[in-house]
Every structure is written in C-alpha cells, then in structure tokens.
Amino acid sequence: MVKLRQIDDYRWEIPREGKMRTRGLIFCSREMLPSIQDDQSLQQVANVATLPGIVGPSMAMPDIHWGYGFAIGGVAAFDPDEGIVSPGGVGYDINCGVRLLRTKLHRDQVTCCMEDLVNTLFTNIPSGVGSRRKDFKLTGSAFKKVLKDGARWAVQQGFGEASDLAHIEAGGKIEGADPDLVSDFAMNRGKDQLGTLGSGNHFVEVGYVCEIYDAPLAAKLGLFQDQVTTIVHTGSRGLGHQVCEDYIKVMLKASAKYGIELPDRQLCCAPLTSPEGKNYLAAMAGAANFAFANRQLITHWVRESFEQVFKLGPRDLGLDLVYDVAHNIAKLETHTVEGKPRKLCIHRKGATRAFPPHHPEVPEAYRETGQPVLIPGDMGRYSFVLVGTQKALEETYGSTCHGAGRRMSRHQAKKEARGRFIIKELAAQGIIVRGAGRATIDEEISEAYKDVASVVDVVHGAGIAKKVAKLKPLGVIKG
C-alpha cells in the first residue's frame, strides 16, 4: 500500500521514496480514502513522480481513480527541455471536455415539454457506439481544416456565432496541430463522427439552476435561480482514440530509444524535444481541435432542437455558451515556479483548468470572475459550476477536478442494475432519459459514481476552485 501523510483536511502527501523524483499530492477528504485505496491509482501517482523532468509534485484531484498510465484525475508538469510527454497523461479520448449553455427559459416553461425535447435531441444528435452522421460528410481536405482550426472551422461553416469562440478554452483551437501526423486510419475513424455524441459517459443534459452559492458571481456568468441550462460532454471520438493508440506504439519504442526507465509500460513517453514528442503534441492538437469542433456542432443541433420544440427564435431562447473546457490534454503553458515565470508542459488527465481572475488566458468576459469551471456529476443527481482561483494557479498549475469520478467498473454497474428499470427510476425523480441501449444507461447509474457534491466540497475547501451554482438534471441523452 502506498504511504500517505495527511497535510490538512483536503491534502494528502505521498512521500518521495525509491525512484520518485518528487512527492505525490492528493486532494481528497478522509472519507474518500477507502474507495481511492481500493484500486491502483495512488501507485500511479507515485509512478508519474519517477518520470524525467517532472516539476513540482505529481498530483491527483478528488475524482481520482485508476486509468491508463496516469490516474484519472492526474496532473503533472514537465520541463520543456528535460521533461517528457506521455499519451497516458492525456488519455484515449483526447480533449474530452464539457461545455455549458445557459438559456432565458425558466424551469416552469420546459417541464411540460421535456419528453418531447429529449426525444428531439436524441433524434438530432447521433449517439451510441460507432454513431455517425449520414447527412454530414467532409472531403479529406475539408476534414484537415477541422483538425487545424477546431471550433473556428465550425463557426465559419455557420455552426454557431463568433461570440461562441470567446467562451471556449484557447478560443476553440489548439495551435500547432498537424493533420499530416494523424494516421489515415484515425482520419477514417473520425470523418463520419463529427457532430456525434458517442458512447460511455458522454451525454447532453438539460437541467436547471437549483442552488446559487455566490449570487454576484452567478450573475456575471449569466446564471439565475431556476434557469434552464444544457451541458454537452463528449470528446474526439474514434479519431482521438486512434491517435492515442498510434502514438502509444511510437512511445514504447521511444522510451527504449532514449533510455527512459518506466515503472509501468503504460507510462511510455518521449522527450518533449524529440521528434516523437513533437509529433505526438501536433497530432494530439489535431484531435483536440476535432473535439472542439464536435462540441460546437452538437451545440448547433441543441439550439435547433430547442427552437423546434419551443417554437422560439434564438433571441428569445438565449442559448448562449457560458464556457467550454477540456479535461484530457497536454498543453504548453507559462507558470510561476520559485518566483520566476517558466514554460511547462502540463498534463491534465481527467482534470480541468481553473485559471483565476485577470489571467491572460481567461476570456475577457470572465477577467473579473475567473475562468468558469464545469464539474458534471451523474444523470441522477447534480452538476456544479465553479470559477478558478489564484490558489489553484499557485498550487496545481491552475488545475482542478473534472467530474465525480467512477467508483464502480462498467461491469459492476451493470451487475448492480440487474433486475431494475433505471429509466423508470429516473422518471420517478422527474428526469427523462434516452440512450442508445439499456446497457449504456445501466452502466451509468448514479451509484457507479462518487457523489460529485463531496468532490466539489474538497476543491472548494482546498481553495483550488470556488463554488458558484448547482444544476439539477431534467432530461438526458446518453451515448
């Protein structure tokens, strides 16, 4: 068992020992420890601490659970000259992320139409394993533009407004993408999946603001009590998965080539200065841009679905983008280390940025509030809106958790749901759910996840994000 030393109510340290180059730092409460210690995620945090060029601690957020290479919820920074980049520190679903839309609608205006709205969303947004759009095809050259320009490409094609781009991390485009470094197989997997939800834990959720913790901040984010909202959660689909798969093979060879000792083959990596490292970052950026474009297209169809059901125009609906943030990515960012600015490669694997007020990378609309932080829960409980803090910038490279975190495998969840009718259970709570299949819904039962409220309480209590509002679901479509 990995040794842990309690620092305070929200922080636990894995002391540096053996081949670790730094310590581990875990954000969690004492009550969370037993479930965290049930898997190998703490060992994964310790393993990341052995990698070359790591700067500061190997960290994990309170939604920590076992993942490929890095624990999900893992954050680590690497020096650009001496450090590495690892696909295991980003994940298979590159730029899986969350966006939040607000509306001008009040909860009372939609409850009578929720079943119709959920069915319309399910019809308009392809969902499930291998889902594809039959009415949306791109040529090879056009598809490469998606990988280069991300959400900007989508807006240029009429899928949204220019104002949307000002409310997306990095403006919806990661610089340095090179589509030629994405394999033909990856391109073929993704070319018909743009504008689709996919499977697993991906969803579109219509909900409402059920509680406000900070009224002035909520107002600045355009949120009010009982306001109808929509969350979109999906990523880079088969394209991102294949980019990861392709570069894991490259990195296994690169690790041996550059003499990098690995405590776990899943941490295969390459120096950031190497051709392999640079190529991965360029291909990863292409997949990340695909994901930004994917969420932008889905947003367009969400807007069309609301217009179709409520017979209202865009101005009356007010379906504006609050923010879109990535939670599986590696990015070159400038941070202050020991009092000096330093460029670092930040791996966030199931973790999201939480930049504070006045940070230059926070959109102008949120310079006074800090970057919106979106932490979804499960389809039966609630999700949260927070903002980033100076404490996060100083302690976690501006990072916080990305969700509730699984506590059951999908197999365990389906076993737990056996003999139950989850759709009816949720309907009894006033939540309408549609999914591509019963198995998809069963494996996403609320019990499969930690209670996101306890996760959010940790990041709020630790000061690495600040609670603004809680959202409750009314209707959900699942992959």
Give 437's Cβ-side CA count (13 Å radius).
11
Residue type, 34: P
Contact 206, 111 (CB under 8 A): no
Segment 305-315 shows an average pLDDT of 96
Is 402 an annotated catalytic residue?
A: yes
For 30-39, 203-212, 222-231, 459-468, which range has the lowest pLDDT when averaged over its residues? 30-39
Segment 176-203 shows an average pLDDT of 93
Segment 200-228 shows an average pLDDT of 97
Q: From the DSSP assignment, how many helices (H) and strands (E) are in the chain? A: 17, 19
The better pLDDT of the pair 420, 225 is held by 225
Bridge pairing between strands 84-85 and 203-212: unpaired
Asked whether residue 204 carries a pLDDT value surpassing 70, the answer given is yes
Question: Please, what's the b/e burial string for 83-101 (b: 16 or more CB within 10 A of its CB; e: otherwise)?
Answer: bbbbbbbbbbbbbbbbbbb
Segment 294-317 shows an average pLDDT of 96
Cα–Cα separations (whole angstroms), residue 466 to 27, 48, 101, 406, 459: 15, 28, 19, 23, 8
For 218-222, 245-249, 426-430, which range has the lowest pLDDT when averaged over its residues? 426-430
pLDDT tens-digit readout, 112-171? 999 999 999 999 998 866 666 656 678 778 999 999 999 999 999 999 999 999 999 999
Nearest CA to 351 out of 387, 396, 299, 296 is that of 396
Residue type, 185: F
Residue type, 239: L
Q: Which backbone phi and psi does 132 adopt, to 5 degrees?
A: -140, 155
pLDDT of res. 436: 79
pLDDT of res. 217: 98
pLDDT tens-digit readout, 432-449? 999 978 888 988 889 989
Q: What percent of the chain has pLDDT over 90?
A: 87
Asked whether residue 412 carries a pLDDT value surpassing 80, the answer given is yes
Segment 194-219 shows an average pLDDT of 95
pLDDT of res. 279: 98
Identify the active-site residue in 65, 402, 411, 460.
Answer: 402
Q: Please give the CATH architecture assigned to the domain spanning 5-81+93-478.
A: Alpha-Beta Complex (3.90)
Residues 232, 230: Cα–Cα separation, whole Å:
7
pLDDT of res. 479: 76
pLDDT of res. 410: 87
pLDDT of res. 18: 96
Segment 324-345 shows an average pLDDT of 97
pLDDT of res. 131: 66
Residues 361, 366: Cα–Cα separation, whole Å:
10
pLDDT of res. 133: 64
pLDDT tens-digit readout, 224-240? 999 999 999 999 999 99
Contact 473, 382 (CB under 8 A): yes
Task: Supply the mean pLDDT for the chain.
Answer: 95
